C-alpha cells in the first residue's frame, strides 16, 4: 500500500463519523475498495505494527550527576577541593592554604 493510499484510507475512515449517512457509507465503501486491492481486512490494518519512525528514539538513560557533600572539617583546603570537585575541576591544584 502506498503512502498516498494509507493517507486516503485514514481520511476515509475519519469520514465514517459523518452525520450524513450517505457520506459515511460512501467512505466505508471506498475504504473497503482500497483494502480489497491489497487483500486486507480492517483487522489486518489494525494489527499492523507501528512504523519505526512513529515510536520515536529511545531516550538516553538518566545518569544523575555525582553528589558532593560538603567537607565536615574546618580545613580550608578541604573546602577548596570540595568546590573544585563540584565544578568539575581537578583536586590536584596548588592551594595557598
The string of pLDDT tens digits covering residues 20-59 is 999 999 999 999 999 999 898 888 887 766 665 555 666 6
Please indicate, yes or no, if residue 80 is contained in any of the structural domains: yes
Residue 83: pLDDT band with limits 50, 70, 90: confident
Please indicate, yes or no, if residue 45 is contained in any of the structural domains: no
Q: Which domain holds residue 80?
A: 66-92
Please indicate, yes or no, if residue 23 is contained in any of the structural domains: yes
Please indicate, yes or no, if residue 61 is contained in any of the structural domains: no
Q: What's the structural domain count of the chain?
A: 2
Judge whether residue 93 has pLDDT over 80. no
| Cβ neighbours for 74, distance < 8 A, ≥ 6 positions apart | none
Query: Rounded to an integer, what is the distance from CA 94 to the centroid of its chain?
Result: 47
Please indicate, yes or no, if residue 16 is contained in any of the structural domains: yes
32 phi/psi in degrees, rounded to 5: -65, -35
Please indicate, yes or no, if residue 58 is contained in any of the structural domains: no
pLDDT recorded at residue 32: 92
Please indicate, yes or no, if residue 35 is contained in any of the structural domains: yes
CA R_g for the chain: 32
The model's pTM: 0.47
Nearest CA to 95 out of 87, 73, 83, 86 is that of: 83
Amino acid at each position: 500500500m502506498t503512502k498516498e493510499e494509507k493517507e486516503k484510507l485514514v481520511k476515509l475512515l475519519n469520514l465514517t463519523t459523518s452525520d450524513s449517512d450517505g457520506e459515511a457509507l460512501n467512505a466505508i465503501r471506498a475504504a473497503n475498495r482500497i483494502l480489497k486491492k491489497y487483500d486486507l481486512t480492517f483487522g489486518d490494518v489494525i494489527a499492523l505494527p507501528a512504523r519505526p519512525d512513529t515510536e520515536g528514539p529511545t531516550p538516553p538513560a538518566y545518569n544523575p550527576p555525582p553528589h558532593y557533600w560538603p567537607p565536615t572539617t574546618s580545613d580550608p583546603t578541604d573546602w577548596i577541593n570540595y568546590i573544585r570537585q563540584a565544578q568539575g575541576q581537578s583536586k590536584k591544584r596548588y592551594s595557598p592554604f
